Amino acid sequence: MPAKKTTKSTSSAKKATAKVATVKPVAKKSVVTKTSPVVPMMSSPTQAPAKLDSKKLFKPLVFLLILALVYLLKDEVIVASVNGQPVTRWALVRNLEQQSASTVLENMTLKLLVEQELKKAGVAVSDEEMEAEITKIEEQLAAQGQNLDDLLEAQGLKRAEVKEQLALSKGLEKLLSDKVTVSEEEIQAYFDENKAMMGADVVFEEIKEDIRTQLQQEKLVTEQQKWFAEIKKSAKINYYKFTPSSNL
């Protein structure tokens, strides 16, 4: 009787073992199904940061750069506008070229030629001389109730431009000084010839220096014209686009 009990218990144990064996695969399968979605998500290349395409970014960057340059240089590009329609500096330059380009170009080449000749002759005008001339002009204008800066602003000029012109003028005076002297006889002759126009009460000694200055200026203009003609003959000046219409 005890042997039979042992047999039953053994068979029960085998059945229990079989049940456990059948359950284990299910447990493993359920674990795999729970963890399997996590693994591909961690290793999937679609989740990596996207690389920037430099070629696609190049055009927008260039466009933004052009807009920035146009904004910064708008005063250099657009000189006016009419009801929102711009007038460009290029259009202005083209019109100016058609109207007076040849004259302006000739003046520029002549100015450059004078500067070269004065440098060649060793003639220079110091800053002190320039300031003295500016002061003299300001005093003359003040005596007439005028102001130099106001006149320059009205003509669209600056002091630097006036100094540049005066430097050439004073340089030519120095260069041609031996040819623009005025004698006492010339001053007296001018006074006698124009006394009636000046008035009977005019005193010669009071206007003597004014006459001298006027005669010097007239001689200087005459000598400058002769000098210009001479240096232009020997200079090599080529006009490629605008041919001057006159000979100064």
Neighbours of 170 (CB within 10 A): 19
What is the 8-class DSSP label of residue 101?
A: H
Supply the range of the domain harboring residue 61: 54-88
Q: What is the per-residue pLDDT for 43?
A: 46
Residue pair 219/180 in contact (Cβ under 8 Å)? The answer is yes
Q: How many domains does the chain have?
A: 1
- Collect all residues with Cβ–Cβ distance below 8 Å to 244 and sequence separation of at least 6: 102, 103, 105, 106
The pLDDT value given to residue 1: 45
- Max CA separation in the chain (angstroms): 177
Extract the residue ranges of the chain whose pLDDT is less than 70: 1-64, 66-77, 242, 244-248
Nearest to residue 219, comparing CAs of 164, 175, 167, 177? 177
CB 207 within 8 A of CB 227: no
CB atoms within 10 A of CB 141: 15
Q: Is residue 61 part of a domain?
A: yes
For residue 70, being part of any structural domain is answered with: yes
Domain-located, residue 139: no
- Spatial separation of the C-alpha atoms in residues 63 and 70, rounded to whole Å: 11
* Residue 73 in domain: yes
d(CA 6, CA 42): 54
- How high is the pLDDT of residue 155? 84
Residue 191 · residue 219 · CB < 8 Å? no
pTM (2 d.p.): 0.55
- For residue 69, being part of any structural domain is answered with yes
Whether 84 is in a domain gets the answer yes
User: Does 15 map to a domain?
Assistant: no
Confidence (pLDDT) at 76: 62
pLDDT score for 149: 87
In degrees and rounded to multiples of 5, residue 177 shows phi and psi of -60, -35
Q: State the pLDDT at residue 186.
A: 94
* Confidence at residue 117, expressed as pLDDT on a 0 to 100 scale: 92
Q: What is the pLDDT of residue 49?
A: 53
5-60 tens-digit pLDDT: 444 444 444 444 444 444 444 444 444 444 444 444 444 445 555 555 556 656 66
Structural domain includes residue 79:
yes
